[in-house]
Amino acid sequence: MRHIISVLLENEAGALSRVAGLFSARGYNIESLAVAPTDDPTLSRMTLVTRGSEEIIEQIKKQLNKLVDTVKLLDLSEGPHIEREMMLIKVRAVGEGREELKRLTEIFRAKIIDVTDTSYVVELTGTSNKIDAFIQAVPEGQLVEVVRSGPSGISRGEKGLGL
């Protein structure tokens, strides 16, 4: 099962490597990991996506909680939540394909943020599935470069993950 887990970490040097080290040392899967400081400069928020059986996911959460730098943890997959990932994608845009790519961008409600005679850079935000779909839709041979942020997530409703 795929799980998306939010972790509030002390914004200390080495906190990120403790998390990364935990996953490699214990042989857990890590699909993506996104981390940045929050409104409180002493805290970082990490969103990580992992896969495993229920037993493994349980252990992952326990082990993450056990890290001294972990302040709070929430498994977003356990309740209603929103996920967004951002992608920057560079495509070859010449001839007929140029117009086609512009239409594709509109259909996906993406933005073209850089233009040259032969290329576009497109910015797209959405669920990971939507981003996969856009990549699939780019005609063969047109794709130059893909940069994905990995998903970030937040729970629905009024309750927040804070101190």
Partner 1 sequence: MELSGAEIVVQALIDEGVEYVFGYPGGAVLHIYDAFFKQDKVKHILVRHEQGATHAADGYARATGRCGVCLVTSGPGATNAVTGIATAYMDSIPMVILTGQVPTPVIGSDAFQEVDTVGITRPCVKHNFLVKDLSKLAETIRKAFYLAASGRPGPVLVDIPKDITDPNIKVPYAYPRDIRMRSYNPAQKGHLGQVKKAVEAILGAKRPVIYTGGGVILGEGVQSLRELVKETGFPITSTLMGLGAYPMTDRQFLGMLGMHGTYEANMAMHETDVLIAVGARFDDRVTGKIQHFCPHAKIIHIDIDPSSISKNVRVDVPIVGPVASVLTDLVRLLKEHGLDPAHEELADWWKQIEEWRRMDCLAYDRNSALIKPQLAVETLYKVTKGELYLTSDVGQHQMFAAQFYPFEEPRRWINSGGLGTMGFGLPAAMGVKLAFPEVEVACISGEASILMCIQEMATCKQYNLPIKVLLLNNGYMGMVRQWQEFFYESRYSHSYVDALPDFVKLAESFGHVGMRVEKPAELEAAMTEAFAMKDRFVFMDVVVDPTENVYPMIEAGKGHHQMHLSPERELA
Piece of 16-24, 32-40, 98-106, 138-146 that binds partner 1 (CB under 8 A): 16-24
DSSP letter, residue 139: P
Token digits for 75?
């498994």
Q: Which of 44, 47, 70, 128 binds partner 1 (CB under 8 A)?
A: 70
CA distance 114 to 58: 44
Output the smallest distance, CB 7 to partner 1, in A: 11
Closest CA to 92 of 127, 72, 61, 117: 117
By the rule CB under 8 A, 160 interacts with partner 1: no
By the rule CB under 8 A, 66 interacts with partner 1: yes
Output the smallest distance, CB 127 to partner 1, in A: 31
CA distance 152 to 128: 10
Per the CB < 8 A criterion, the answer to whether 7 and 63 are in contact is no
Residues 84-113: x/- map of binding to partner 1 (CB under 8 A)? ------------------------------
Piece of 61-69, 105-113, 132-140, 148-156 that binds partner 1 (CB under 8 A): 61-69
CA distance 64 to 72: 9
Output the smallest distance, CB 105 to partner 1, in A: 43
By the rule CB under 8 A, 162 interacts with partner 1: no
CA distance 150 to 112: 20
